[in-house]
Structure 1
Amino acid sequence: MKERIFHFTKEKIAELKAKANAEIGMTNRVSSLQAVLTHFWRSVIRSQNLDPNQKVSFNLLIGARTRLQPPLPENYFGNAVLVGTVTVKAGDLLEGGLGHAAWEMNKMVALHTGEKVRSLLESWVESPRILTFGSLTSNALGTSSSPRFNVYGNDFGWGRPVAVRSGSANKTNGKVTVFPAAEGGIDIEACLPPETLKAMGNDSEFMDAVTSN
């Protein structure tokens, strides 16, 4: 596996979000992160030249703190995330456009209500299962981290960080780590086969939204 960082500026993120919402006739339903991740996902699948009928998945971490009633405090130290999955055919992902795929991701996230979260927790107690990135199925991507984390606010005595990366541990095919970037941007750290990353670098539709950093 190889790694590559794809940087999206605040302006490019806004363009992707506007495009996704316009394609589904909405004004602001698809979020910035959903638009960026879907744009990335479509390029990965486009670069892999899969059979149009092949099923592909995107596993997204969903925060549960504010979904529970009463909500958990922001400084809650326990694990308060769930994994939501969007599964579609490769052909539908590419032919349906950015908006359609982002809308599927949005609907999946919206299904995780407080009642849904409690139901999932209760079912886990009955049948515990440990999730790892190594358990990702074929043709699946999985996210970690979040652009909401204030990673650049940490100062260990050397000043503000120049860059934040995930390090060398827990690398597996399909791992996607999301970091905040300067001035409202987003960095995506992708762990994928070298041939896929090379093809993505030559994907003009994808790279039009990516900026060298």
Structure 2
Amino acid sequence: MAKILEVSRVPPFADSSDSHSDFSLPLTFCDTSWFKFPPVERLFFYSLPQPKQTFLDSTIPKLKNSLSLTLQHFLPLAGNLTWPRHSPKPIILYTPNDGVSLTVAESNAAQDFDFLSADHPREAASFHPFVPNLKVTETGASAISVQITLFPNRGFCIGVTCHHAVLDGKSTAMFMKSWAYICRSEKPGSLPDQLKPFFDRSVIRDPDGLDIFYVNQWLASTKHIDPNPFQFLPSLDVPSDLVRATFELTRADIAKLRQKVLSSWDKQEKLHLTSFALTLSYMAVGILTATEEDHKLAIKKQKVNLLFAVDYRNRLRPPVPENYFGNCVSDLMKKLEEDVMEGAAEKFSKRQSEFAKGNMRVIAVAGSPRLGVYDVDFGWGKPNKVEVVSIDRTGAISMAESRDGSGGIEVGVVLKKSELDGFTSFFLAGLETHV
């Protein structure tokens, strides 16, 4: 558990010569496709053996000040998602009185740091006290929320909850890297070009009006649940028997899997097996195998889809800058060579319908090995561990690069305890099998 020490609002830094005015961004179709999707919750664990008072007197002010300095570059994150009367769709709006909600808390057990930041099975619900909630009202929702939790004499964690209609994983990682860069920099307030967000929404072309279509689809499919347009899809309760664990596939493991697949494949057909595809496929087979007992009656009637978000920044025509802020991803259930816009509305409607009817079982991916979450160094070293907490509500798996930079992939899995035991056996046995 965590004891709340302070709740404050951190505004973007502004001196007497630099006052911020209203700043707004329209939502593109890439944003509205995630409009009511549950928030993404991440935890970054850092080793820092400071006593409580030193942490509160030194580290917290440094983190707060650097957050304020960072927000002057990321004004939308200090604002809210809202829906003006004159607008056909929601917008992101920052006003000078806005800021990011920051909670400072203390864990009542310092040893929890090592327990929570490990790879072994842990109760999924044990992570929830360390992630903040987004404020949601009938008139809007906050963009992000932050919580810093101290584990006295051991370390701390930063919990960040992000509204998915405001930013994708790449933009989230860019913000966290910017905050970390300014925190450890000797020239606070400045950012290298690759961390400066690009806000121009005109680069996302939408001749078919997908932005409005997606909003209307979300509202139509959820109006019987909650008339509040800003309310997320209902959060699923996390059963007490759900546990999370982290599994790592090293480069050698991935090479072994690639060789196993190629050895049984038609040699006449070329096969490009990326590390991501091999990892997702291997994990998906393991999950289906481990959960077969619970799903054996329904699985014959269900389609099983592997669902992951693809970065469209370099796939749109013309390409979008790599530092584009917002969402420029979409879930992929088709070939990458296809036009990413072709048939998008029909595919979205069909998918929503299949979800509602329960005709589809999905194994989705949160995060990516390309985000570089272990590069988020505030000056006390890279994170001991990064966890995507929200996968225990969405049923997804999480992916990140291996912490040691060796080229492996780290995967987070949440299952029932009995299922996780079966998955672990599958995972280890498959890697021990020789070609």
Specify whether residues 76 and 31 from structure 1 end up closer, same or farther in structure 2 by C-alpha distance, changes over 3 A only. Answer: same
Equivalent residues in 2 for 1:140-179, closer than 5 Å:
140-166=362-388, 168-169=389-390, 171-172=392-393, 174-179=395-400
Change (3 A) 1:150 1:23: same
TM value normalised by structure 1: 0.70
The one-letter code matched in structure 2 to 1:180 is: E
1:41 aligned partner: 284
C-alpha displacement of 1:207 = 5.4
Rg bigger for which structure? Answer: 2
Counterpart of 1:110? 336
Contact 2:301/2:359 (<8 A) preserved: no
Within 2, Cα distance between the matches of 1:62 and 1:73?
15
Tell me the secondary structure at the aligned position of residue 164 of structure 1. strand
Shift of the 42–186 alpha-carbon distance from structure 1 to 2, 3 Å rule, reads same
Report the Cα distance in structure 1 between the residues aligned to 2:264 and 2:311, rounded to whole angstroms. Answer: 27
| Cα distance change of structure 1 residues 207 and 193 upon mapping to structure 2, 3 Å threshold | farther
TM-score by length of 2: 0.36
Cα distance in structure 2, aligned partners of 1:191 and 1:179: 15
Which sections of structure 2, spanning at least 5 residues, go unmatched? Answer: 1-241
| Conserved? CA contact 1:201–1:207, under 8 Å | no
Structure 1 or 2: more helix by fraction: 1
Q: Which residue of 2 aligns with 1:6?
A: 247
Any conservation in 2 of the 1:176–1:191 contact (CA below 8 Å)? yes
Deviation at 1:21, TM superposition (A): 3.5
Question: CA RMSD of the aligned region, Å?
Answer: 3.2
Amino acid at match of 1:163: K
CA distance in 2, matches of 1:138, 1:173: 14
Question: For residues 359 and 392 of structure 2, what CA distance do their matches in structure 1 show?
Answer: 15
C-alpha contact (below 8 Å) 2:400/2:409 kept by paired residues: yes
Greater CA deviation, 148-157 or 43-52? 43-52
- Aligned residue-pair number: 178
How far residue 120 of structure 1 moved from its aligned partner, in angstroms, is: 5.3
Matched, 1:62 2:310: yes
Shift in Å, 1:7 = 0.8
**1:6 alignment partner, SS class:** strand
Q: Cα offset for 1:140?
A: 2.2
The 1:120–1:155 alpha-carbon spacing in structure 2 relative to 1, beyond 3 Å, is: farther
1:36 aligned partner, one-letter code: T
What is the CA–CA distance in structure 2 between the aligned matches of 1:7 and 1:192, rounded to whole Å? 17
Higher relative contact order (CA 8 A, sep 6+): 1
